[in-house]
Every structure is written in C-alpha cells, then in structure tokens.
A = this chain, B = another copy of it.
C-alpha cells in the first residue's frame, strides 16, 4: 500500500464493469431468462410435513391431465453409496444430495421435494401437482439443534451414528459427528488466567437471500446428451452433481452458466438441475424450472443456526492464556453443516497457545444447510468476539488494544495446524484504531462495538485460456461464474501481463464444453486461484509472442523481452530489429505458426488468509427495542485490490449481510415444523434505507502466493458484524446480548431482564 501504488498500469484502477451496463439495463440473462423452442415447464411437489414417511404416491390423475408430459419421483434416481466423496474439491455425500433433491422413503422437512412434473404450461404443471396423491405417515419432528442432539429426540436417519466419538455408538443419533481440535493445554491455560469470561450464545438459521431464485433449463437428446443452462456458482459443480446423481458421464452433460443474481454459497449445490434433466429425458422436451421465493426459503439451504459456549482466560495485562469453545451447529436434514469450519476459524485471529474447539454437526427437520459466505465462521466469531468484548470490559481495556495484544501474526500457529505466512491482521487493527470513526463522539443510548474476523480462503483447481485475436485484442476465458466482478478482474490481470489496455481484453465465462475444469466460484477463491491461472495463461501467451518475435527476428527467444505490450530486443540492440507490438505479432501469426494462445490448468495453493476488523455505532430505542446502525466501518486486509470498486462492494455487502443476521433475520417455525416467514416481507433483510453508507478501508498486505498479491476478500467481511453489532448494542444497553437476532422484542426482553 502506498509505495507500490504506481507499479501497475491496470491493476488497482477502476474501469467500467463489463457486466455492469447489462445488469442495470435488464439485458443480462439470468437463470430464468433462457428458453429453447418447445420448452415445457417443470414444477416440484413438496412435503407439507416436517417429518413423514412416504407410504405411496399415486400419479394416475396427474399424468392423465392433458398437457402433462412427464413426472419423476425418488424411484427415478439411482441409489448411491452412503459415503463422502471428494466432489470436485469439497467433501460431499452424493447420496444425501440425491435424497435432498428428491425424497425417498421419508420427507425430512417441510418443502422436501417428493415429486416433479413437467407440463406444457406452469398452470397445468401446478394443477398436476394438486392431482398427485401422496399418502404420508406423519412422524414426530425436531427443529431446535439442542433438542435434536438430545437423547430421545425423533431420529431422522436410522442408519446415522455419531462419528468422531469413542467407543463407536450403537444407537442412531441426530448428531452426525463430533470434531475436536486444539493447541496446548486448555486447563493449564485457564489455571494461569487472572480473569475469565464464559457464556452461551445462540444464532438463528439465516438464508443467503440472493435476489435470483434457482432456475435452469435442461435439454436431453434422444441419444442421452444433456445440455443444462442454469444459475449456479459453478457450471462444473452442476455437471459433476448431475453426473453423479443421474449416473451419466461428465462428457454427456454440458452446463452453460447464466448470469447469477447472487449465490453467497447457496448456489454451490443442485436442487432443480437433476430433476430438469430427468424430466427432459422422460418428456423428450427441454424443461425449464424456476423456484418461487417460497420454495427458495423452504427448500434451499440456509446456513446453520448455532448454540455455542465460549470461555476465555487472560492475564491482567490482556494476554490470553486459554480459549475453549463448544459449537452445536444445525446441519439441516442431512449431515454436513459447517461445525468444523467454526472450530477452525473462531480463535484464528488470536495467538492462543492453549485452545480447544469442539464442534457437533446435528441434523434436524430443517432444509439441508448450504454454504453461506465464510460458512460456519460468523457464528463462532460472534461467540468469541462477544467474549473478547466482555473480557475487555472486565479488564477495563480498549477492545482494539486487547485484540492487538493477542493478534495473530506471521508465524502464529492456528488451531487447525497452519502457521500463518504474511497476514495483515495487526494492520487492520491499527487502521481501525486510528480511523476517525473510532474516536467520534457518541450520544445518549449510543455505543460503539468492534469485532474482528477471519476466513482462511481457498485455492484449488482452475483453468484459463488467453486467445490473441487477429487484430491484437484478446479473449480471456475462465470456468467460473462471475458473481462479484471476476470478468473485470480476470481481464485486468490478463491486460496487465500482456501489457495492453483493459478495453482490448474480452473476458468470457466458459461453459463446461469449452474450458477446462474449474472448481466453483466460492471460498473466496476465484480472484486468487482462477486469477493465478489467468496470469499463467497470459504469461504463456507472452512467451509464445516472444517466440514469434524470435522467429521473425531469427534470434533465440532469450534475446526477446516483453514490455509495454511489445517484444523488444534484449538490451535494446537495434541492428535490423525494431519493436514488435502485440498487434503486429497477432497480424503475422499465420506465417509464424498459427493462432497465438496460452492455456493452463492449475491447482492453486497459497491462498492468503483474510483478516478484518469492523467498527459499528448503534443507537438503541429503549421504548421499542429498535436498533439503529448509525455508522459502520469495515477495515480489511485485501492483499491486492485488482478492481478496488468491486472489493469495496464485497466489504460493504458482507457487512450488510452480517448486520441483518445480527439484528433481524431468522427462520420462524410453527409448532408443526412449518416455516412461518418464507418471504422477504416477513423474513426481514436489511435494505438501503435501514443502513448508513458502509465505509471501507482496504489494507494491502500482498499475498506471496499470488503474482499480484491477491487474497480472497468476499467472505471475511461477513465474519465480524454479528459481534460488532452485538458488542455495540450490549454496550448501549448495558447488558450482554448473546442471542441473535437482536430484534426489538429480544432487546426489550434483555432490557427488562437487566
């Protein structure tokens, strides 16, 4: 930051977004915007019961309805082994995905798909759903995570036994697994403490809240070749999941990604695509499926609600001596919630030598949880950062000073084993401390909270290709949907390496038939990993350009260097040679060997960890319990901001989603386990008028694992807000708010209970 400001020509500038105009004018084509001639409509019949045995499905009347073309139930999908598979790069139990996509013997939550039909119109498809007779045996259900983990709870899966405990249990349980990780000796650590804090915390399930519902079109030829157009965070993910769920070759499925109207982790799995393929196969017609908002809420993954306990011990000077946390995370109806990720991330900002984290992955009669921006981290951070705030209060220390005293640095070992390389956590704390926001005056019923947060970020497999066009412009192709501006950042990195203008590089999101395998857009991996692939592909292109110049100059390639978008003789010797621009080399490509391209596939390691610190000012209304966010500042180490405007957008968006999680969002179930608020009117996400402008401060501590120093920036910003808001409210209310959301009734109750 600062002294490197001018080293790049394109990186760090803020060019026009290639997807911007289309998106604001409504021209961009999202999942529901694609159709083929002859397309018919698929709709899903969903369980009205939270837990029920499916005794029979009678579709005679439905199939007899004119216009109905096909129907599928669980019987149409192959049974898969109950095992965890690599699944791209994240571990996945495809049997569970298959059973989630279409129920088999039991419906495990209200909204669980039970059958699907395809008909010539949506109205006929809806009529057909009403004509399907499903005989259910309603079973006792369980919604709360602690209730579900308790002995005697209704068991969802008779074949599920808690993993990670000794001796192996003989009784089935809703606790899918127990994870423990640690450092040092926690008991000794607490014994050495002068001060301890210990508290239980809860958070509620919240939905990713993407504006665009799930949508797809599938077309299958009579010789079994499928093409799927869909909105997702990964066309290769969709291909793999469909391939596994339907027993088809990868090569028999081509997935073309649409624009995506938000995913936030919620579009890292499939719901409709396998049904659409199955219906398309049966009907011989292209099948389009689009969820309603109601279906999105009832049947797609929210993130886990959590029940947590955290204990911290510290010396009187603030030095942490020990930390202990126990996390119960909802997994929804199938195992695989992010409890382990909570264990990994909660203590990560601090140089703790004695720490323990125990996580429980618990199923209950809720929709299967899906990833949501830094999956598992915001809840654990809420607990730990709340405890840090309470500790600071007990010690009479400034909360930033307490964090600075214990901040993880290069060389700090995290609870999950890694030793951090260059990280910028201290820099975010210092920047927050000196930010005008931190010393601004506060009025009555107002208070300031701070919290920090961490996300490890991931790398993984990505492919990229750079093609030089005949006129010296270039194409850059990657295999990742553009959610947060990756077309711009890919084009910028390619332009920087090639040495040409950004406007001369056209970024394209490839389909699975045209670009090599790329893991999905998530984990804050794309700008880092796919960006690294783009840099390497562009570098390979530069090397090819040098080789072409060498051919024209009849010299060794070593005598040709590339700078400012042109081949130069090394050392500038200028016998018969002159400078050859990229455009000139492109024009002569035919005679020097053909089209000029660079293409790579990589498995990127070295994703830089992301740390952030956020400051939140609130005012509480003691009469109504309403919390108003007055001012909010996000400080984050972003490694290198390729396109700073997009990075700022990530920081702002993460903070806003976290504020909603802290103050308003929650799943409200009735006594029958049915969701009471499946719409944006009753499920209250913050909108622009609820919030101040979110201020951002980008710290750039370059990640040595990326050519331009990129770190993932998309997930870290959602980690601190839950605690930042709760800490501010707790200070304003003078009572610790440990249960989210801090909705007016809950705040009033806390004020009353004080």
Chain A positions near chain B (C-beta within 8 angstroms): 16, 18, 20-22, 25, 27, 29, 33, 36-37, 86, 88-89, 219, 221-223, 225, 240, 243, 249-252, 254, 460-463, 465, 467, 469-471, 473-475, 477, 503-506, 508, 510-518, 589-591, 593-597, 599, 601-604
CB distance from A270 to the nearest CB of B (A): 16
Q: Contacts A27-B221, A470-B517: A475 and B603 contacting too (C-beta < 8 A)?
A: no
Which residues of B are found within 8 Å of A221, using beta-carbon distances? 21-22, 25, 27
Which residues of B are found within 8 Å of A599, using beta-carbon distances? 465, 597, 599
Q: Is the CB of A473 within 8 A of B250?
A: yes
Which residues of B are found within 8 Å of A512, using beta-carbon distances? 475
Q: Is the CB of B516 within 8 A of A467?
A: yes
Known A-B contacts: A29-B37, A254-B508. Give 14 more (CB < 8 A).
A16-B223, A21-B222, A21-B223, A243-B471, A249-B471, A251-B504, A251-B506, A461-B589, A469-B517, A510-B514, A511-B514, A514-B515, A591-B603, A595-B601
CB distance from A502 to the nearest CB of B (A): 11
Q: Quick one: closest B residue to A602, CB to CB?
A: B594
Q: Is the CB of B463 within 8 A of A597?
A: yes
Which residues of B are found within 8 Å of A20, using beta-carbon distances? 223
Q: Contacts A513-B477, A514-B515: A601 and B594 contacting too (C-beta < 8 A)?
A: yes
Which residues of B are found within 8 Å of A590, using beta-carbon distances? 86, 89, 460-461, 603
Q: Contacts A27-B221, A252-B506, A475-B512: A603 and B593 contacting too (C-beta < 8 A)?
A: yes
Q: Quick one: closest B residue to A24, CB to CB?
A: B222
Q: Is the CB of A516 within 8 A of B595?
A: yes
Q: 9 A-B Cβ contacts within 8 A?
A: A89-B590, A249-B504, A250-B471, A463-B595, A465-B465, A467-B516, A469-B517, A475-B513, A477-B514
Q: Is the CB of A240 within 8 A of B470?
A: yes
Interchain CA distance A602-B594 in the complex, whole Å: 4
Which residues of B are found within 8 Å of A603, using beta-carbon distances? 589-591, 593-594
Q: Is the CB of B594 within 8 A of A254?
A: no
Which residues of B are found within 8 Å of A591, using beta-carbon distances? 603
The 6 closest A-B pairs by CB, nearest first: A595-B601, A251-B473, A594-B603, A250-B469, A508-B513, A251-B506
- Residue in B470, B471, B504, B601 whose CB lies within 8 Å of A596: B601
Which residues of B are found within 8 Å of A596, using beta-carbon distances? 516, 601
Q: Contacts A221-B21, A251-B469: A506 and B513 contacting too (C-beta < 8 A)?
A: yes
Interchain CA distance A342-B493 in the complex, whole Å: 50
Interchain CA distance A505-B590 in the complex, whole Å: 29
Which residues of B are found within 8 Å of A595, using beta-carbon distances? 461-463, 516-518, 601-602
Interchain CA distance A518-B250 in the complex, whole Å: 26
Interchain CA distance A702-B640 in the complex, whole Å: 56
Which residues of B are found within 8 Å of A518, using beta-carbon distances? 595
CB distance from A519 to the nearest CB of B (A): 9
Which residues of B are found within 8 Å of A516, using beta-carbon distances? 465, 467, 595-597
Q: Quick one: closest B residue to A219, CB to CB?
A: B27
Chain B CB within 10 Å, residue with most, of A515, A516, A591: A516
CB distance from A723 to the nearest CB of B (A): 35
Q: Quick one: closest B residue to A519, CB to CB?
A: B590
Interchain CA distance A518-B590 in the complex, whole Å: 11
Which residues of B are found within 8 Å of A506, using beta-carbon distances? 225, 251-252, 254, 513
Which residues of B are found within 8 Å of A16, using beta-carbon distances? 223
Q: Is the CB of A36 within 8 A of B29?
A: yes
Which residues of B are found within 8 Å of A594, using beta-carbon distances? 461-463, 601-604
Q: Quick one: closest B residue to A512, CB to CB?
A: B475
Q: Is the CB of A467 within 8 A of B504?
A: no
Q: Contacts A21-B221, A597-B599, A602-B594: A473 and B27 contacting too (C-beta < 8 A)?
A: no
Chain B CB within 10 Å, residue with most, of A503, A518, A595, A596: A595
Interchain CA distance A594-B461 in the complex, whole Å: 5
Which residues of B are found within 8 Å of A465, using beta-carbon distances? 465, 514, 516, 599
Which residues of B are found within 8 Å of A505, using beta-carbon distances? 251
Q: Quick one: closest B residue to A595, CB to CB?
A: B601
Which residues of B are found within 8 Å of A251, using beta-carbon distances? 469, 473-475, 504-506
Interchain CA distance A514-B476 in the complex, whole Å: 8
Which residues of B are found within 8 Å of A473, using beta-carbon distances? 249-252
Interchain CA distance A49-B599 in the complex, whole Å: 52
CB distance from A395 to the nearest CB of B (A): 46
CB distance from A261 to the nearest CB of B (A): 15
Q: Is the CB of B504 within 8 A of A514?
A: no
Interchain CA distance A504-B505 in the complex, whole Å: 34
Which residues of B are found within 8 Å of A249, using beta-carbon distances? 469, 471, 473, 503-504
Chain B CB within 10 Å, residue with most, of A251, A460, A603: A251
Q: Quick one: closest B residue to A27, CB to CB?
A: B221
Interchain CA distance A477-B250 in the complex, whole Å: 15
Interchain CA distance A225-B20 in the complex, whole Å: 12
Which residues of B are found within 8 Å of A602, using beta-carbon distances? 593-595
Chain B CB within 10 Å, residue with most, of A18, A25, A475, A508: A475
Q: Quick one: closest B residue to A28, CB to CB?
A: B221
Which residues of B are found within 8 Å of A503, using beta-carbon distances? 249
CB distance from A354 to the nearest CB of B (A): 34
CB distance from A88 to the nearest CB of B (A): 8
Interchain CA distance A460-B470 in the complex, whole Å: 14
Interchain CA distance A331-B36 in the complex, whole Å: 40
CB distance from A604 to the nearest CB of B (A): 8
Q: Quick one: closest B residue to A37, CB to CB?
A: B33
Interchain CA distance A734-B512 in the complex, whole Å: 63
Which residues of B are found within 8 Å of A240, using beta-carbon distances? 470
Q: Quick one: closest B residue to A474, CB to CB?
A: B251
Which residues of B are found within 8 Å of A511, using beta-carbon distances? 514
Interchain CA distance A506-B89 in the complex, whole Å: 23
Q: Quick one: closest B residue to A518, CB to CB?
A: B595
Which residues of B are found within 8 Å of A514, using beta-carbon distances? 465, 475, 477, 508, 510-511, 514-515
- Residue in B21, B225, B460 whose CB lies within 8 Å of A18: B225
Interchain CA distance A110-B16 in the complex, whole Å: 45
Which residues of B are found within 8 Å of A517, using beta-carbon distances? 467, 469-470, 589, 595
Interchain CA distance A409-B29 in the complex, whole Å: 58
Interchain CA distance A751-B590 in the complex, whole Å: 54
Which residues of B are found within 8 Å of A477, using beta-carbon distances? 513-514
CB distance from A704 to the nearest CB of B (A): 20
Q: Is the CB of B515 within 8 A of A467?
A: yes
CB distance from A500 to the nearest CB of B (A): 10
CB distance from A13 to the nearest CB of B (A): 17
Interchain CA distance A240-B254 in the complex, whole Å: 28
Q: Quick one: closest B residue to A89, CB to CB?
A: B590
CB distance from A531 to the nearest CB of B (A): 14
CB distance from A489 to the nearest CB of B (A): 17
Interchain CA distance A504-B251 in the complex, whole Å: 6
